[in-house]
Amino acid sequence: MSANKVSEESLSSWDKAKPAFTHKPASGFYDPCQDFADRSIKCMRRNGNDKTMCSDYFQAYRDCKKEWMTQRKKST
């Protein structure tokens, strides 16, 4: 068995998939704020698209997104 083949076998699944994650926008795979976005949309549907009734949901989404972007900037 060649050394190249041995090194390929020793790579973990993450090592093989890592380039796909590092070269795509983070939100292309996972948005930690999606739950807040879904709740905002459900609120709008429940309240006949009255934005004033859902302002707390919108603010929670904005706060989540802001925190996520801050963490991403710190990690790069």
Residue spans of alpha helices (H) in 1-76: 3-10, 13-22, 34-46, 55-75
What are the structure tokens assigned to 14, written together?
């993450």
What is d(CA 49, CA 42) in angstroms, rounded to the nearest whole number? 10
pLDDT digits (tens, 9 = 90+) for 57-74: 999 999 999 998 998 888
pLDDT at 6 (0 to 100): 46
Indicate the average pLDDT of the chain.
Answer: 80
Which tops the pLDDT comparison, 2 or 48? Answer: 48
Domain residue ranges in the chain? 3-75
What is d(CA 7, CA 12) in angstroms, rounded to the nearest whole number? 10
What is d(CA 53, CA 14) in angstroms, rounded to the nearest whole number? 43
